[in-house]
Structure 1
Amino acid sequence: MASSFNKAHDFRIDNFNNIVNVNHSADPLSKLEARIAAGAIHDSAERCDAPKCHPETRVAVQANLYRWIVDGDGEVEQPKKIKWVTGPAGTGKTAVMGSLADRCAKNGVLGATFFFASWSASMGRRRKTAFVTTIAHQLAQHRKDLKSAISTAMDNNPGVLEKNLHVQMETLVLAPLREVVHQSEGPGLRGAIIVDGLDECEAEQYHDTSSTGPRATPTRTNAQDQSEILQVLQAASLDPHFPFRILIASRPERVFREFFDPEINPISFAQKLDLNVEHNADADITLFLEAQFDLIRRRFNFPSSWPSRGTIPTLVENASGQFIYAATVIRLFDTSHREAPKALLEAILNMEATRKATSNPLEQLDALYMRILESSPDPPLSVQWIHAIAVCSQYIVNAPAFNINMLLQTDPESNEAEHLLGTLHSLIRIPPHSDQTTAAYGFYHKSLLDFLKDPGRCGKLYAEHSERGVFIWDAFVR
Structure 2
Amino acid sequence: MPDAFHDSSARDPPPSCHPGTRRNLIDTITSWGLGTSQHTEPMLWMYGPAGVGKSAVAQTCSERLAEGDKLGAALFLSRSVGLNQRDDPCRLFPSLAYQIATKSKPFGDILDNCIQDDPTLVTKSIREQFQELLVKPLSQLEADAAGVVEGLVVIIDGLDECGKGPGTHCDIIEIVAASIRNRTTPFRWVFFSRPETHIVGSFTTDDLCSLTYQLEIRVSRDIDYDITLYLTDGLRKIQQRNGLSDSWLSERDIGVLVSLSGGLFIYAATVIRFVGGRELLGPMDQLRAVLALASGNKGTDSVHPLSELDLFYTLIMRCVPPGIIPRIQAILLLTSFTAFGDTQNARTGRPLLGLQT
Deviation of 1:351 (Å): 2.2
**Counterpart contact for 2:177–2:208, Cα < 8 Å:** no
**Does 2:312 correspond to 1:446?**
yes
Aligned to 2:72: 111
Query: 1:424, 1:349 → 2: CA distance?
Result: 12
The SS at the match of 2:89 is coil
**2:237 corresponds to which letter in structure 1?**
L
2:191 aligns with 248
Tell me what 2:10 maps to: 46
Change (3 A) 1:170 1:267: farther
Letter in 1 for 2:214: K
Q: Out of 123, 130, 135, which is 1:169 matched to?
A: 130
1:325 shift after superposition? 0.5
Distance 2:213 2:146 in 1: 32
Gaps of 5+ in 1: 1-36, 204-221, 355-366, 377-422, 429-442, 462-478
- 1:89, 1:447 within 8 Å by CA — same for their partners in 2? no
Other structure's SS at 1:180 match:
coil
Name the counterpart of 1:66.
30
- C-alpha offsets along residues 127-149 of structure 1, whole Å, 9 cap, x if unaligned? 20111111111111111221122
2:294 to 339, 348, 352: 352
Report the counterpart of residue 272 of structure 1 in structure 2: 214
Q: Is the CA contact (8 Å cut-off) linking 1:319 and 1:325 kept in structure 2?
A: yes
Counterparts of 2:198 and 2:29 in 1: how far apart (Å)? 23
Contact 2:48 2:193 survives alignment (8 Å): yes
* Contact 1:127/1:201 (<8 A) preserved: yes
The unaligned stretches of length 5 or more in structure 2 are: 321-327, 338-357
> Structure 1 residues 375 and 191, CA, compared in 2 at 3 Å: closer, same or farther?
farther
Q: Deviations over 1:259-311 (max 9, x none)?
A: 11135x65521111111179942221111111012122323443334422322
**1:261 to 2:127 alignment:** no
Task: Note closer, same or farther for the CA distance 1:69–1:185 as it changes in structure 2 (3 Å cut).
Answer: closer
Structure 1 distance, partners of 2:266, 2:215, is 19
Q: How far apart, CA to CA, are the structure 2 residues paired with 1:277 and 1:460? A: 26
Asked if the contact 2:48–2:217 (Cα under 8 Å) also holds between the matched residues in 1, the reply is yes
CA distance in 2: counterparts of 1:105 and 1:449, whole angstroms? 30
Whole-angstrom distance in 2 between the partners of 1:174 and 1:279: 44
Amino acid at match of 1:313: G
- Distance (whole Å) between structure 2 residues aligned to residue 233 and residue 279 of structure 1: 35
> Deviation per CA, 1:5-29, whole angstroms, max 9, x where unpaired?
xxxxxxxxxxxxxxxxxxxxxxxxx
Secondary structure, aligned partner of 1:193: strand
For 1:306-455, list aligned pairs within 5 A.
306-336=248-278, 338-354=280-296, 376=302, 423=303, 427=307, 446-450=312-316
1:148 paired residue number: 109
Task: Encode CA deviations 1:318-344: one digit per residue, 9 max, x unaligned.
Answer: 212211100111111122364453443
Q: Which residue in the other structure is 1:223 paired with? A: 166
Paired letter, 2:238: I
The 2-side partners of 1:323 and 1:330 are apart by 11
Farther-moved stretch of structure 1 (269-278 vs 282-291): 269-278
Q: Secondary structure at the match of 2:50?
A: coil
CA distance in 2, matches of 1:55, 1:292: 11
Taking CA–CA contacts closer than 8 Å with sequence separation of 6 or more, which of the two structures ends up with the larger relative contact order?
Answer: 2
2:140 to 179, 182, 193: 179
Q: Which residue of 1 aligns with 2:234?
A: 292
Question: What amino acid maps onto 1:65 in structure 2?
Answer: I
Change beyond 3 A, Cα 1:279–1:193: farther
Change (3 A) 1:130 1:444: farther
Q: Deviations over 1:93-137 (max 9, x none)?
A: 111112222222232111111111101545421220111111111
1:333–1:226 distance in 2 versus 1, CA, 3 Å: same
Identity percentage over the alignment? 27
RMSD value, Cα:
3.2
Deviations 1:59-88 (A, max 9, x none): 22111111100016446xxx4111111111
Provide the rounded CA distance (Å) in 2 between the counterparts of 1:344 and 1:121: 26
What is the one-letter code of the residue matched to 1:333?
A: V
CA distance in 2, matches of 1:115, 1:126: 9
Q: Give SS of 1:96's match.
A: helix
Change (3 A) 1:278 1:247: farther
Q: Could you say which residue in structure 1 is the equivalent of 2:46?
A: 85
More helix by share: 2
Equivalent position SS for 1:242: coil
